[in-house]
Amino acid sequence: MRFGLAGINHETNTFHSIPTKYENFEKSGMLLRGKEIEKLYDSPSTIGGFYKASQDFDFELIPLMFATTGPLGTITSETFEKLISEILEMIEEKGPFDAVLLNLHGAAVSEEFHDMDGEITRRVRDLIGPEVPFGINLDMHANVSEQMILNTDITNVYQTTPHLDADETGYKCAELVYKTVQKEIFPTQSIETPPMTINIVNHNTNQEPMKSILAESRKLYSDDEVLSVSVAEGYPYSDIKKMGMSFVVITNNNMNKAKEYSKKIAKYAWSKRFEMDSQAPSIEEGLREAVSIREKPVVLMDSGDNIGAGSSADSTHILHKAREIGVSGILQTLYDPEAVEKCMNRIGSMITIKVGGKSDSLHGDPIEISGTVKKYFEGEFEDHGRTHGGTKYFDAGDTVVIETEDENTLILTSKRVGNTSIELYYSLGLNPINYPIIVAKGVQSPRPAFEPIASKIIALDSPGVTASGLHNFNFENRIKPMFPFEKEDALYD
Ligand SMILES: [Zn+2]
């Protein structure tokens, strides 16, 4: 039994001014073809889960192509066509398959297709025909569409934020597809999309109200006909019509029940909407709270510069504010390839240089620092623990450490790497527990890395292309009315 395996995985921040091009996938080192995909074999990722299922259920997985890169702006039409046509050609060449499994994100947007993941499923379904079982596994930030549901047999979604169950949900997706091939089950899927989106600071599934919504959704499993229940939080930084929360229920050959249950869990989440509208403290409030806590380290989440959601990785807003109010002892990364180049040959010497704030106008002005260039590192590191999304291989590019005269430690990187692993600090010989304050660029994704060491984690409402306050953005394509934008007018029943 042969299953085709492929995927294009992208979280598209349509507010980002830099479009995503083919070269971004190439440069990320994650444009993998054929056997190259097998390096993800034992990773705690969706593809790792697909492989585990292939062993347990004894089907052969034929790796075709997998492309992913960090979030940026809208994917150009040319890039999308190049990626999808290669996958479709490979399906044709290496097929026919007994089933197809795709690792998609669910929040990809191209210039031509706002529902890019839906378009991928449409083209794959057209090619393989209506009979071949077809499953997709999505990120919990997916903006799931009706089109994805119509074109697939199994649409499964991570059920944890931070994402620690990519392999588990990937496994489940593959298992259900396998059982569909065996005609053990006849999946029927339904989706509900109430008009609501959630501020990212409330996405953590270990905290209320998401915790209760997940718990409520799990109760549906007491019905034997329920095969899968997915709560998707949605990705609010995609200004598209299908942006928002969604609820997918798959039953065994019982569409009415799938509809009833997806509606039931959607209504429960809707009843919690006002609890999902809380805001994070300002940078100044967060810094003042951090210095009041004696135990090290306090981790401040720079929500506005959420690298994992497409930000520039070089925001200086927190550093400027810290300097203004006299807070130091900060350890943080900053993306600045230009500064890295200037520092690389000056290890051990003093330097005065402007760093950060160079990508665009949203993330603060460059900040002038004086300090000693302490160390150079080539940037590649691995994390063998459980990280957000199951990432194992990281590459910060050429990296230097500067200890500043005002007692901050800045790690300048030449690639945008999310702060989802603390292995970067260890690779640089830095022990993060020695620092009073660590700034992590993200909101939820750095948590698994920092929770074991942080005395407290505080998410800040910092400005930027991923600011948590959604009122900062000018949406043109989202549905209206929608919660929390039009709080009183948004209706659902
Ligand atoms: Zn996500």
Per-residue pLDDT tens over the stretch 1-38: 999 999 999 999 999 888 999 999 998 888 999 999 99
CA 257-259-263 angle, to 5 degrees, is 115
- For residue 308, name the pLDDT band (cuts at 50, 70, 90): confident
Burial class (CB in 10 A: 0-12, 13-18, 19+), 403: middle
Residue 489 lies in a domain: no
d(CA 328, ligand 1 centre) in Å: 31
d(CA 233, ligand 1 centre) in Å: 9
Beta-carbon count within 10 A of 359 CB: 20
Task: Please tell me whether residues 255 and 347 are part of one structural domain.
Answer: no
Among 242, 276, 310, the domain boundary falls at 276
Residue 220 lies in a domain: yes
The alpha carbon of residue 196 and the mean position of all alpha carbons in its chain are separated, in whole angstroms, by 19
Task: Please tell me whether residues 120 and 208 are part of one structural domain.
Answer: yes
Ion ligand 1 residues within 5 Å by Cβ? 139, 141
d(CA 473, ligand 1 centre) in Å: 20
Task: Please tell me whether residues 47 and 110 are part of one structural domain.
Answer: yes
The answer to whether residue 469 scores a pLDDT higher than 90 is no
Overall domain count for the chain: 2
Among 213, 241, 276, the domain boundary falls at 276
d(CA 405, ligand 1 centre) in Å: 37
Residue 482 lies in a domain: no
Determine the average pLDDT of the residues in 463-490. Answer: 93
C-alpha to C-alpha distance for 414 and 424, rounded to whole angstroms? 13
d(CA 445, ligand 1 centre) in Å: 8
pTM of the model: 0.88
d(CA 343, ligand 1 centre) in Å: 34
Q: pLDDT tens across 313-361, in order?
A: 999 999 999 999 999 999 999 999 999 999 999 999 999 999 999 998 9
Q: Across the chain, what does the average pLDDT equal?
A: 96
Sign of CA dihedral 165, 178, 84, 14: negative
d(CA 163, ligand 1 centre) in Å: 7
Task: Please tell me whether residues 289 and 227 are part of one structural domain.
Answer: no
Q: Which domain holds residue 58?
A: 2-276
- pLDDT at position 113 is 98
Task: Please tell me whether residues 240 and 385 are part of one structural domain.
Answer: no
d(CA 214, ligand 1 centre) in Å: 16
Task: Please tell me whether residues 266 and 349 are part of one structural domain.
Answer: no
Residue 65 lies in a domain: yes
Task: Please tell me whether residues 344 and 211 are part of one structural domain.
Answer: no
Residue 479 lies in a domain: no
d(CA 323, ligand 1 centre) in Å: 32
DSSP designation for 15: T
Task: Please tell me whether residues 14 and 110 are part of one structural domain.
Answer: yes
Task: Please tell me whether residues 267 and 295 are part of one structural domain.
Answer: no
Residue 158 lies in a domain: yes
User: Rounded to whole angstroms, what are the CA distances from 417 to 197, 202, 307, 412?
Assistant: 27, 23, 7, 11
Beta strands in 287-329 (DSSP E): 298-302
Task: Please tell me whether residues 332 and 419 are part of one structural domain.
Answer: yes
Among 222, 244, 276, the domain boundary falls at 276
Residue 230 lies in a domain: yes
C-alpha to C-alpha distance for 92 and 94, rounded to whole angstroms? 6
d(CA 241, ligand 1 centre) in Å: 19
Task: Please tell me whether residues 148 and 82 are part of one structural domain.
Answer: yes
Task: Please tell me whether residues 239 and 300 are part of one structural domain.
Answer: no
d(CA 238, ligand 1 centre) in Å: 13
DSSP character string of 387-443? -GGG--EEE--SEEEEEETTS-EEEEESS---S--THHHHHTT--GGG-SEEEES-S
